[in-house]
Structure 1
């Protein structure tokens, strides 16, 4: 594994602690019956989706990084694919969380568009990695 890929993996692994903290935060809102979360189904659904996507996408990115250095790509393309894999678990959850920040929000704001942007990043990263491995 190249030093650049190892550094990217280390950063992703460190974020797992923040995801765990986010899960604890969501659990505490349920247990303490915090207004604006439990009684707001849109906010609850989007925050749950944000938390789930963060965890799954970080794990997926870590697995993908194991294969990245086995591709035939040069340094610039390797950097691009690394960035695409790191961007997805940042953009998608941010879109879910920030689109309903206020407890009174009953519909997502325009920041929800970060979700498909993260999806595009994930799609591009996986497509490029797959092609590079062929």
Structure 2
């Protein structure tokens, strides 16, 4: 988690640099603007979600292996989803996302699996194990 936060901060600074540099080509490519914005937003929101969900993992009746899965899958999705958005349009003249966009599916599956697993563990309760 402590590694992800500086990357979100770096992404924000990079976006600011692209916005203020007329030669960056950022303003001329709406697709790139949208996906960079989506990547930065997903990174921040998923980082906050990760911090919130980590607080609840030990309140579940999940086994140690499943707890570790939840602890790693949700923060990992905070890496894969934004990476898909950023890396899929690195070229300033990108007209469509490249194959890196498929990382978004990997991140979405990790996020969904982690949240469902956490939800099941919370519904079962700590004493029902």
- With normalisation by structure 1, the TM-score equals 0.86
Deviation by residue 1:43-98 (Cα, 9 ceiling, x = unmatched): 11101100010000011011000000110111111111112112210110010011
Deviation by residue 1:26-55 (Cα, 9 ceiling, x = unmatched): 012111223321111111110110001000
**Counterparts of 1:64 and 1:30, CA distance in 2:** 33
* Unaligned runs of at least 5 residues, structure 2: 124-129
Q: For residue 122 of structure 1, what is the aligned residue in structure 2?
A: 111
- Confirm whether residue 84 of structure 1 aligns to residue 66 of structure 2: no
Helix, strand or coil: the match of 1:69?
helix
Cα contact 2:4–2:79 (8 A) shared by 1: no
- Confirm whether residue 33 of structure 1 aligns to residue 3 of structure 2: no
- Confirm whether residue 53 of structure 1 aligns to residue 42 of structure 2: yes
**Counterparts of 1:132 and 1:34, CA distance in 2:** 51
- Computed over aligned residues only, the root mean square deviation of the Cα atoms, in angstroms, reads 1.2
- With normalisation by structure 2, the TM-score equals 0.89
**Counterparts of 1:34 and 1:116, CA distance in 2:** 32
Q: For residue 126 of structure 2, what is the aligned residue in structure 1?
A: none
**Counterparts of 2:66 and 2:122, CA distance in 1:** 13
Give how far 1:14 is off. Answer: 4.1
Q: For residue 82 of structure 2, what is the aligned residue in structure 1?
A: 93
* Unaligned runs of at least 5 residues, structure 1: 1-11
Helix, strand or coil: the match of 1:104?
coil
